[in-house]
Structure 1
């Protein structure tokens, strides 16, 4: 019995050493990113437009059966001042009256117009195709192209604040992270864990990233100089990408243009998906960013996520049941490291709390238990990292695009 106990302890100690070798370098990388947080640029604020930016922005919104979600966006865009020259809704033959809602908005605000894009060609995903068509339709007098999604809720002063920041900081492309609207218990628990997979892999919003392959972007609010988008032939470089925003932003950054990703929680809200199941299915399969990343980077990110987000809770739960007393030093070091990582995770939860609107959410308190969903969130990234979507936003694709 003693021999078996000794063998068990040796095995557990060896496993602890292996886990430490896996987790310590990943923890160092994570800390190097989080330490940049205090130096990040402040969140975008709503602004009043100046005469210099009047008529400088064309908004393009891709839609496919968005009648139930698009009204807050249309209302929010109508509240923007005349820095917004026009708002073009590119509708991909919606069957639910989306185009009729835009036409009704046009009666109140002549800056709106809607047109139907051409049939989807081979090699293109629906969203970048619609945005590319919209880009080709914008006024030659506009200096800026602003892509926005139908599920966003822009605050008054969003566009003015965004353009003024871009001009001041010299950005050629800048996108915003929004404030997420949560409504149901399951998404209050799961969605923050999925978001954390992005925060652990990339620099915080507001930190200028020097490496193009580490650039982040969000197509829900995606501002780009018209001249720059013309120089890269619109969305052509992201034609087959299911994360076209990141793919295009990294391509533009690689051409030497300045790309920024900023905190927009004070000027932009979004209601992405209804409930935990839809959040898991739809958002989870685009978070891997495989279309914008080389294979080595994907594997590196999966290692990092496993080490610092997926494993800490599992290690603490399992070792609490399995570790004999007194424990060997490697075991104690492993437990201490994972307690530290879990503490970081809860600190990050406090940091991202302003990025969530939970005022009307049922079970909003589950947000504070989202670290318990971390192993599931990391599993979701693994499941989608090497599998191309066959369906996206109501469209079916063969062999990916």
Structure 2
């Protein structure tokens, strides 16, 4: 809450922040939300793909198509550990998704409490004996006259009760600030567990990205990535040779159906001759080599594709988490400012004992409360955007 003596711009801080986050300003290029619809769909797609990774050693062996490769770090047991870490990280998202949803609920609930308690404070001020006596003729008095009208004992009792309500508002704002910080910390940790860095508790994490990069480096050091490209090129060459041999053999087949030719010609120039048999055997030999190479490439590519996809997802998610962190930092700053100004308002109200300052406080406090209806509306908009994102994702996986 803002001090009654603050400017209108300060009064409108919550409204402006929420309008910015909900993209209600035409100047805002970012889509609505702490996490945008696109962010949420991308994250949930990552989670879904991560959870589809093999879970047990036998599944990993089937996925890799080898029981051993003789390379430390790329054995099925090593890949299983990496996949388990990725799946564990992905599983942590559901709690954070609930937190992001609850963040919007918290915004709306806090806005409602501010409006309700604020209106209660303004109503209670108007009912104070001092204000009740002059409410109909307030404009008839000069500032000097109003300043000379002091509290009675009954006014002191009413002011004490009003102070309790302001304190309750401060508690609501503090809780909203605390919850926003919790969400921000979890978003930060989710990002750091991917990319590495300092967690919200101050501990360091090397990040899953480092694990994936290490596997990729092992692939490169052992020429696995180069061999995939080389084998694909070799497959293409051998496939072209097979195609030509098939054409040659087809010629010999056709010659077998030629009538009126000597038996010796059939033997030499058809499928019964040495040329045809050599062609057939060469083709079959090449086909067996291509089949073996395809199997090898598939084995190698399964792991490389998984690592490539994971690396791309990690880089994408880290950027999206940065956007969410920035939005939550803005919200945190907003709560801190509101709480600081509300505490100042409590001190100011506690020092009031005359009609002039009391009436001024009531007028300015009404201006403080007014923007919160718009905050509540923005929270509804953010929630609708999240719901739309979740619905769109569910439709995409049906």
Same structural fold, with TM-score higher than 0.5 when normalized by the shorter chain: no
Normalized against structure 1, the TM-score is what? 0.27
Bigger Rg, which one = 2
Normalized against structure 2, the TM-score is what? 0.27
